[in-house]
Amino acid sequence: MEYLRRPILHVEVRVRGNENSMIIRTDLIREEITKWLLENFVVLSLGQEISSFEGLQEPHTHVIESILVADCSGGDRESGAYRIHQIELDVQAYQLRTPFEQDSPQHTQSLEECIEDKDNDPKTKILSLPSSDLDGLWESLQFDQPLKFTLLRGITRMVSFSAQNLDKWTINWNRLILLWGPPGTGKTSLCRGLSQKLAIRIGKYYPRSKLVEINAHSLGSKFFGESGKLVSKTFENIETLLEEEEDTFVCVVIDEIETLAARRERALGGNEPFDAVRAVNALLTGLDRLKNHGNVVVICTSNLITALDQAFLDRVDIKQYVPRLSGRTIYGIYKQCLEELNRCEIIEGSAFDVIQVNPEDPQTALQYVEQTTETLILPTFDEMILNYRMFPDGVPKQLGDAALESVGLSGRTIRRLPALSLVLYDYHPRCSVRVAVFALRRGIATERASSSAAGAESTSSPFHLTVTASVATALALGSAAYLYGQEAFASTPAEEGLHPTAYPWEHAKWNKTFDHAALRRGFQVYREVCASCHSLTRVPWRSFVGVMHTVDEMKAMAEENEYDTEPNDQGEIEKRPGKLSDYMPGPYKNEEAARAANAGALPPDLSLIVKGRHGGCDYIFSLLTGYPDEPPAGASVQEGMNFNPYFPGTAIGMGRVLFDGVVEYEDGTPATTSQMAKDVVEFLNWAAEPEMDDRKKMGVKSIALLTGLFAVSVWVKRYKWSPIKTRKIVYSPPVSRR
């Protein structure tokens, strides 16, 4: 039982190209490499590449190109190092296939010819795996979570289970995987990378593998009834391939599956032709036929999971959401791109370090050092945060800022920006990495400006009103509605706290609106300082759109959080990424967890804190800025409490949280304590009443309308009704004639 719980270390052995038509036994290579590793190594590390094969038998030394420690199942990926006798080795030998190498050209030809139509559009692309065309794709994929490794292990075990001839009536699965998420997150590349890695990982079960990419768009036809026939014919020939080559593993990839698996009820309820329903039926029937073969896996991608037919979703075994890229992942992509440009001698090499000014004195200040080298060596994201964040002019910090500015952009855009920026903003044949990063930031700014121009145009115009003297009386009445009555002062601070100073808040004036720049800064202060303890659960993500952030920015923030879905048919509640309609989550799961983390105190929700506290904005501002360095003479504060004269009782559990420079504003505003307090108070005032600006606008419109109606009524009364009401009416009955 102890052996079964060992981590499994996956080792990939690449065999050289077979130039002399020599027969290479990969099974013998696996056994020999496993024995050689156990005898010659004590520790193996993830990512370790072995190119020296001393002690290996002579025939195998010449055919092996490299040995790579690729992955570990069940171990700790953070450490990355494993003792050889505490793990189980899974060695796989493989040889890259070129596009001209086809194991069985007759099947490939029949599969392609059988689905040709009159337009001669390519319906499928078939590739022998592992392919040289896909070499390096897996390593270039970067995600926030170990997404690709989790999928690879899951699909590998799924195929290995199927190889055990499970009873299909007892264990019902389709080996169907769906990758869904926003456009440009790497779903299609992940499908191809998974196919390449699966062909290597399951080499002991299937010596040959193929990738079949189905072009979903080309299966549609302008002739009625042809789409369903094309889909059906495609799956029939894939099934024929599986039957005739039982020792070949086939990975079927269908990109943009919503083209073939759109909701049938929408097609029937709208004006779409019935042919679309036939195509969906043919797809579902084809998937049901493929599940009878254990040597096939179907991987699909979609940007619109809500547009997929429910019957198709019910057949999917693994539904994996691929999120947008975070700043950490984008930094890694930019690092890869810049290092590749350096390898091609487009960017000069550099090395970076942080040293002490006086190495003999550990108390001296740190100094940023940049040296010219042949190879570009950029620090990782964690190293940048740890060592280079305090040097804003350093190249690593500049690259980190560029990554944060790129959050919300698609993966395709991020991949092309480093080279495209040099093309557009630099004219030297070879430049330094500092110039490349500067050009990159210019390219990011241009891309973001062009992508958000439409949204900014509709939301950036402020509402300015000019009131004429003719409605002075009505405006006076409207202004009086904002005035407060006489307020009662506390007799001593110990009873209700010291009464806060009344500040002239600009947004509190009847003819003024919120400062949107201050709201954005206040939201940043809340996220980086306040959100660790306080919640904002009454504010949905969509409220920020058009006020502080764009739609894409808020979608990215919402998708960083997970929410419970509705229970499915089995009563299970799954997790899903956040949407704009969701409300902001709190830092703790429940009240007990909040009290446990705060020494028994319960941090209040800040959604309505400005409206729910006497003094409103003045009280919150005074509380945040009212912490003295030392309690005044005679003031007694319990252990674990902090003195604040504005808090009732003067003893508060929350310590001072705002210090000069604790937040680095995006717009360059100096982050002083008072500035941060002002910004976060204005943001909390907006959170308590997001509709305040609209309310003021509606009030002015209503007053203007009522004033106009009043003037009309005066005119009607004076010139229309008064003559009528004072007019003498005489009734003269008709006189009969005799």
Instruction: Determine what percent of the chain falls in helix, strand and coil, rounding each to the nearest 5.
Output: 45, 15, 40
> How many Cβ atoms sit within 10 Å of the Cβ of residue 731?
4
Tell which residue, 368, 378, 365, 614, has the closest CA to residue 498: 614
What whole-number distance in Å separates Cα of residue 16 and Cα of residue 37?
19
**DSSP readout, 597-649?**
HTTT--PPPSTTHHHHSTTTHHHHHHHHH---SSPPTT----TT-EE-TTSTT
Residues 641 and 598: their CA atoms lie apart, in Å, by: 11
Pairing state of beta strands 318-321 and 176-180?
parallel
Under a CB-based contact definition with an 8 Å cutoff, are residues 203 and 93 in contact?
A: yes
What is the SS3 assignment for 31?
A: helix
- In 10 A of CB 389, how many CB atoms? 13
- CA 407 vs. chain centroid, Å, equals 8
User: Any known ligand binding at 499?
Assistant: no
Distance CA 513, CA 689 (A): 12
Q: Identify how many contiguous H helices and E strands the chain contains and give both numbers.
A: 26, 18
Tokens 């949905």, residue located = 540
**CB-neighbour burial class of residue 334 (10 A; exposed 0-12, middle 13-18, buried 19+):** buried
Tokens linked to 256: 């943009």
Amino acid, res. 577:
P
Is 337 annotated as a binding-site member?
Answer: no
Q: In which element (H, E) is residue 273 found?
A: none
- Residue/partner pairs of 474-483 with CB below 8 Å, 24 or more apart: 474/703, 474/704, 474/706, 474/707, 474/710, 475/700, 475/703, 477/703, 478/510, 478/699, 478/700, 478/703, 479/510, 481/699, 482/508, 482/510
Q: Is 641 annotated as a binding residue?
A: no
Beta bridge partners of 94: 14
The answer to the question of whether 534 is labelled as a binding residue is yes
573-578 own/partner pairs: CB under 8 Å, 24+ apart: 576/321, 577/321, 577/323, 578/541
At CA 456, angle to CA 454 and CA 458, rounded to 5?
A: 75
State the distance between the two ends of the chain, measured CA to CA, in whole angstroms.
132
- Helix ranges restricted to H, 291-378: 310-315, 327-343
Binding residues: 530, 533-534, 654
Binding residues for heme c: 530, 533-534, 654
